[in-house]
């Protein structure tokens, strides 16, 4: 019996690999070509083996010039290096907490700073030559694009359950973008399930980004909401449901990324500051101060000003029916003024606690035909339909992705049976 199951598992595994090869080959080749073109090599003169290295991190309030001074360069030398490397590195992008390595020759008073290596992000570093002629070289670490499959069932929270399943939480951000209208990420329930076929970028064994989500299924009770990635090459939507309808609707479900609801829509809420029972015709999203706030749909900004108890407020008219408001902001997006057109997902401000507020949160409000409505109960028709001439190609892509996922699910089931024997 075990031998038969092993054979079945092998068959399912080989089938999965075959499907993967058919659906992924052109994408993988494109990624490899792009990486070959963009990777830059470090200067041949940089040979750290004979040098003494000091590791550190950029401190709070530390600027590039002060960092160089702390590492042993004179003010003039720091200025010359900054000027010489201006086209490669913008000193204003130096970030607190980022690591660096300082390489020295000599010892004691004769010690001289030769190179500074700054870890710009998880996929690249900048190598500064700290002796004339000054120069800087960007070195990209080798990045591998890996195809992944995730199957996560909610038991406590999406974040914790993804970690427990060995899935990068970065996938949450991609899913929240794709399912921004279909799924209320603030109301996920125990038993809800995500199945996702996607690519992620891996650098030195660490996931640095979720690249492309090809297929996903969200299951809530008896309802299943599939998503198929299909690019019409028109610069518009690339995510569709199984019927070829856009996953992008007229409005997003929420005006900010993954957070939690601290207060709902009510006509009889006791205000946390005044303690009076009064209407709260909006939804409060608790989030850290500085969290970006985006407009839930295209529209025209009608007001950007301080409004007493509401603090700093942005108001947007989306059409003749819907308007929205975003209250208690810490600051507005740069250049945002009344009369400006904004696009769905564009940052309009940042979470704060201005006005009558007990802590950082966003008070989000929606009006329909001039009357307040519960933002969590809005409905909206699909946008950007799939073009008729692309429907056949869309169906072929969908079949490939579904076949791939079905093969992986079947393989997992057989493997589970084998492991139990």
Digit-coded pLDDT (tens) for 267-325:
555 555 555 656 777 889 988 999 999 999 888 999 999 999 999 999 999 887 889 99
- pLDDT over 50 at 7, yes or no: no
- Residue 188: pLDDT band by 50, 70, 90 thresholds? confident
CATH code, domain with 52: 3.10.450.350
159 contacts 171 by C-beta, under 8 angstroms: no
Residues 311 and 328: beta-carbon distance below 8 Å: yes
Confidence grade of residue 30 (pLDDT, cut at 50, 70, 90): very low
Structure token digits, residue 225: 């909401």
Structural domain count of the chain: 3
Per-residue pLDDT band at 63 (split at 50, 70, 90): very high
- Please tell me whether residues 14 and 148 are part of one structural domain: yes
Q: What is the mean pLDDT of residues 160-166?
A: 89
| Residues 173 and 239 reside in one and the same domain | yes
**Residue ending a domain, choose from 87, 108, 140:** 140
Do 112 and 91 lie in one domain? The reply is yes
Q: What is the mean pLDDT of residues 75-84?
A: 95
In terms of domains, do 200 and 289 share one?
Answer: no
**How many CA atoms does the CB half-sphere of 258 hold within 13 Å?**
15
Instruction: Mark which of 140, 169, 191 sits at the end of a domain.
Output: 140
The enclosing H or E element of 36 equals: helix 2-38
Torsion sign across C-alpha atoms 302, 308, 310, 312 = positive
209 falls within a domain: yes
Do 324 and 292 have their domain in common?
Answer: yes
Residues 133 and 43: their CA atoms lie apart, in Å, by 13
Q: Do 277 and 352 have their domain in common?
A: yes
More confident residue, 270 or 392: 392
pLDDT of residue 92: 92
Query: Does residue 61 sit in the same domain as residue 199?
Result: no
Same domain assignment for residues 75 and 175: no
Q: What mean pLDDT value characterizes the chain?
A: 82
Record the pTM.
0.62
Q: Does residue 383 contact residue 297 with C-beta atoms inside 8 Å?
A: no
Q: Is residue 255 part of a domain?
A: no
**Which CATH number do you get for residue 286?**
2.70.70.10
Could you read off the pLDDT of 111-120 as tens digits, one per residue? Answer: 899 999 999 9
Same domain for 160 and 234, yes or no, is yes
Q: And the tokens for 392? A: 């056949």
Q: What's the average model confidence in pLDDT over 254-272? A: 67
Task: For residue 152, give Cα distances in angstroms to 158, 159, 182, 195, 218.
Answer: 8, 10, 18, 7, 10
* CA quadruple 158, 202, 47, 76: dihedral, nearest 10: -50
Q: What own/partner pairs with CB < 8 Å and gap ≥ 24 does 184-189 have?
A: 184/253, 184/254, 184/376, 185/158, 185/253, 185/254, 185/258, 186/254, 186/259, 186/260, 186/261, 186/285, 186/376, 187/376, 188/154, 188/157, 188/158, 189/154, 189/220
Q: Which residue has the higher pLDDT, 125 or 44?
A: 125
Residue 396 lies in a domain: yes
Residue 168 covered by a domain: yes
**Given this model, what pLDDT does residue 94 score?**
95
Is 60 exceeded by the pLDDT of residue 6? no
Same domain, residue pair 32 and 160: yes
pLDDT at 1: 44
In a domain, 207, yes or no: yes
**Short-list 103, 94, 100, CA closest to 60:** 94
Same domain assignment for residues 70 and 159: no
> Whole-angstrom Cα distance, residue 377 to residue 87?
50
Domain range holding 327?
Answer: 260-377
C-alpha–C-alpha distance, residues 271 and 260, integer Å: 19
pLDDT at 49: 74
Would residue 136 count as lying in a domain?
yes
Residues 188 and 273 in one domain: no
Residue 275 inside a domain? The answer is yes
Classify residue 254: in a domain, yes or no. no
Domain finish residue from 140, 169, 204: 140
């Amino acid at each position: 019996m075990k031998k038969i199951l092993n054979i079945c598992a092998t068959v399912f595994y080989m089938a999965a690999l075959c499907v993967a090869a058919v659906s992924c080959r052109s994408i993988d080749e494109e990624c490899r070509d792009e990486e070959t073109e963009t990777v830059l090599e470090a200067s041949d003169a940089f040979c750290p083996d004979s040098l003494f290295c000091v590791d550190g991190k950029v401190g709070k309030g530390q600027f590039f010039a002060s960092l160089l001074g702390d590492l042993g360069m004179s003010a003039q030398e720091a200025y010359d290096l900054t000027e010489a490397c201006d086209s490669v590195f913008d000193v204003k992008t130096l970030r607190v907490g980022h690591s660096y390595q300082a390489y020295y020759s000599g010892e004691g008073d004769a010690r001289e700073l030769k190179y500074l290596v700054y870890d710009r992000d998880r996929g690249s570093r900048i190598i500064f030559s700290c002796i004339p002629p000054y120069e800087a070289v960007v070195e990209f670490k080798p990045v591998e694009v890996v195809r992944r499959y995730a199957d996560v069932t909610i038991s406590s929270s999406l974040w914790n359950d993804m970690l427990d399943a060995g899935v990068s939480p970065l996938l949450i951000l991609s899913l929240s973008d794709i399912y921004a209208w279909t799924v209320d990420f603030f109301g996920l329930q125990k038993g809800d399930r995500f199945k996702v076929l996607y690519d992620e970028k891996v650098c030195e064994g660490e996931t640095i980004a979720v690249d492309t989500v090809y297929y996903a299924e969200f299951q809530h009770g008896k309802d299943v909401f599939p998503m198929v990635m299909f690019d019409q090459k028109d610069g518009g939507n690339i995510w569709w449901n199984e019927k070829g309808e856009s996953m992008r609707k007229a409005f997003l479900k929420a005006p900010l990324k993954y957070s939690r609801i601290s207060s709902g829509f009510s006509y009889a809420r006791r205000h946390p500051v005044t303690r009076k029972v009064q209407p709260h015709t909006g939804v409060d999203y608790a989030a850290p101060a500085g969290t970006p706030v985006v407009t839930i749909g295209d529209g025209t900004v009608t007001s950007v000003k301080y409004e007493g108890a509401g603090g700093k407020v942005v108001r947007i008219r989306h059409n003749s029916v819907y308007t929205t408001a975003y209250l208690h902001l810490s600051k507005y997006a740069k250049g945002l003024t009344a009369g400006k057109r904004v696009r769905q997902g564009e940052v309009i401000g940042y979470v704060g606690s201005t006005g009558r507020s007990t802590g950082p949160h966003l008070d989000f409000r929606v009006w329909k035909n001039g009357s307040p409505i519960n933002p969590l109960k809005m409905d909206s028709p699909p946008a950007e339909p799939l073009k008729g001439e692309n429907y056949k190609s869309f169906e072929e892509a969908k079949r490939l992705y579904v076949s791939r996922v079905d093969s992986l699910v079947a393989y997992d089931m057989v493997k589970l049976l084998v492991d139990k024997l």
